[in-house]
Each structure stands twice: as C-alpha cells, then as structure tokens.
C-alpha cells in the first residue's frame, strides 16, 4: 500500500515516447546520480522499488556540498579561517545537513507524489523538487538514448482531485479546523462548519476505512467538501492511503 499525506506535492512526469517499463527504466537511470540544483545544495534519488504493479517508491536525498578550497567563517569573530588551521574535519565523501524525502510514482497516471515535509519537519518546496527531477531527467544524466522527459508541477488546487482520482483509497483521514473569520465565506463550507461552532469544537477528526468488500472509498458530497475544507482552512491535515 502507498501512504499519501496532505503535506505532499505532485509532479507530472511524462516520457516521450513511452511504453511498458519506460518509467521504471528512467527512474533507475536517474538513481544514484548526484545533481546540483540550488546553490550549494545537491540531490540524488535512491534506486526505486516496485511496491505494487506500476507503483514505485524511493527517496530523494538532499545535502550541502562543501567546497574544500573555500575558507571557513569563525562565527564568534566573523573572520575567515582555513580549514587546515582548525580542528574541523571536512570530507568531500559526504554531503552535509542531509535531508531525506520519500516519493511515490504512479506509472499509469504519470504522477510523482513527494513529501514536502518529512518526519523531522524538514521541508522541500515543489519548485525545488521540480528543479531536482528536471535535472535528474535530463539527457546528461539519464543518457542521450533515453526518451525525452517532461517534468511539470501539478498546481496545488488540482492536487486533491488527483489524489481522489487514484483507483483505490483504503484510508482517508480528515481534520476539519475552524478557519479564521474571512478565510472561507462559501455557503456550503460555512454550513459544514456550523455544527462544529454549535458544539464549541476547534477541530473535528473523521477517519474512514475501506471495507474488504468495497473496491474503494467513495466519498459522498459532504465528506468530499470536508476533505477540501481540511485542506484549505489552515488545518492542513488530510491523509489518504491509496494504491
């Protein structure tokens, strides 16, 4: 099963041309290839694994590359010092200030879901993820004989639609949190939150699990509205488990 959390971004990755195993091949070509994508920040992706047919998971690894020829800055005196004159040991075998973000690629939808906030609270913006995968999918990395790969960001307003469009949802967790006055003025949203106000609730959690007999969770209109309220009214805490 694949966990997809609301604190995620989505990239649309399309290879031209593509056929069976094209995306698996492209991801494996890009794996373990380090690219510089933002200042001194470098990134790579680990070898993907197919957790279910057509669904691949792996990790984006990010760290700072230290230029050993550049001086250090003494933070107390704000003066330059040579690394050789200090007790600091720096090696170009490592990236520093490392961060890891998980990703899931759904082949038949050409969608790559990636964490924008990992378990340690570190963040990866969609723009930086786009830059990472654009560089990783370039001919210089995956080879001139590979298909041309187009990488685009799925706009945030489309993200929940894409998530709900996955062919099976096993678990949906919704948190409704009262918005600040003026955050949302749509009649349908105010009606959905009215009961919370009447009960004096700051937030409300709803947890839905798929029954073994059902093919997926089919959200009705009120629950679907609740999902969007949870996503857009400061309470950004919606989780779905999909495959």
Report DSSP letters for 131-175, one per residue.
Answer: HHHHHHTSHHHH-TTSPEEEEEEPPHHHHHHHHHTSS-EEEEEEE
Q: Which residues pair with 206 in a beta bridge?
A: 174
Reported as type and span, the H/E element at residue 98 is strand 96-106
Its sign, for the CA torsion 208, 213, 216, 217, is negative
Please, is 74 exposed, middle or buried when counting C-beta atoms within 10 Å of its C-beta (0-12, 13-18, 19+)? exposed
Mean pLDDT for the chain overall: 76
* Highest mean pLDDT (candidates 73-77, 137-141, 162-166, 217-221): 137-141
CA-CA distances (angstroms) from residue 140 to 30, 54, 146?
Answer: 10, 26, 10
Eight-class DSSP state of 204: E
% residues pLDDT > 90 (the chain): 33
pLDDT band at 241 (very low <50, low <70, confident <90, very high): very low
- Residue 171 burial (CB count, 10 A): 15
pLDDT band at 83 (very low <50, low <70, confident <90, very high): confident
Domain ranges of the chain: 2-155, 167-242
Taking a C-beta distance cutoff of 8 angstroms, is the pair 60, 101 a contact?
Answer: yes
- Residue 199 burial (CB count, 10 A): 8
* Highest mean pLDDT (candidates 15-24, 74-83, 122-131, 209-218): 122-131
% residues pLDDT > 70 (the chain): 63
Predicted pLDDT at 187: 56
pLDDT surpassing 80 at residue 88 = no
pLDDT band at 94 (very low <50, low <70, confident <90, very high): confident
Give 140's contacts (C-beta < 8 A, 6+ positions apart): none
Predicted pLDDT at 135: 96
Q: Among the listed ranges 40-44, 91-95, 149-153, 155-159, which one has the minimum average pLDDT value? A: 155-159
Taking a C-beta distance cutoff of 8 angstroms, is the pair 184, 204 a contact?
Answer: no
Predicted pLDDT at 167: 59
More confident residue, 226 or 219: 219
CA dist 232 and 201 (Å) reads 18
In 3D space, the residue among 103, 40, 88, 43 whose CA is nearest the CA of residue 66 turns out to be 40
CA dist 147 and 236 (Å) reads 37
Predicted pLDDT at 43: 96
More confident residue, 45 or 173: 45
- 105-138 pLDDT tens trace: 999 888 999 998 888 889 999 899 999 999 999 9
- 156-192 pLDDT tens trace: 655 555 565 655 666 666 555 544 444 444 555 556 5
More confident residue, 185 or 243: 185
CA-CA distances (angstroms) from residue 190 to 22, 126, 221?
Answer: 47, 30, 15
Which SS3 state, helix, strand or coil, does residue 18 take? coil
Predicted TM-score (pTM) of the model is 0.64
What's phi and psi for 111, nearest 5 deg? -115, 135
Q: What is the mean pLDDT of residues 37-57?
A: 93
CA dist 136 and 218 (Å) reads 37
What's phi and psi for 198, nearest 5 deg? -60, -35
């Amino acid at each position: 099963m694949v966990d997809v959390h609301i604190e995620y971004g989505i990239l649309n990755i399309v290879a031209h041309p593509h056929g069976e195993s094209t995306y698996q091949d492209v991801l494996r070509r890009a794996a373990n290839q380090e690219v510089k994508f933002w200042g001194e920040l470098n990134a790579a992706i680990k070898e993907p694994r197919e957790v279910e047919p057509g669904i691949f998971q792996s990790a984006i690894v990010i760290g700072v590359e230290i230029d050993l020829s550049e001086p250090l800055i003494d933070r107390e005196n704000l003066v330059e010092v040579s690394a050789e004159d200090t007790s600091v040991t720096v090696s170009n075998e490592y990236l520093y200030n490392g961060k890891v973000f998980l990703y899931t690629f759904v082949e038949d939808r050409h969608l790559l879901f990636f964490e924008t906030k990992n378990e340690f609270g570190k963040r990866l913006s969609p723009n930086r993820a786009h830059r990472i995968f654009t560089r990783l999918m370039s001919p210089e990395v995956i080879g001139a004989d590979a298909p041309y790969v187009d990488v685009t960001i799925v706009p945030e307003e489309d993200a929940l639609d894409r998530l709900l469009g996955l062919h099976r949802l096993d678990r949906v967790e919704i948190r409704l949190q009262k918005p600040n006055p003026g955050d949302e003025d749509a009649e349908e949203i105010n009606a959905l939150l009215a009961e919370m106000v009447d009960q004096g609730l700051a937030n409300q959690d709803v947890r839905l699990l798929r029954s073994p007999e059902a093919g997926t969770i089919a959200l009705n209109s009120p629950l679907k509205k609740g999902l969007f309220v949870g996503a857009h009214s400061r309470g950004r805490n919606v989780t779905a488990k999909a495959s």
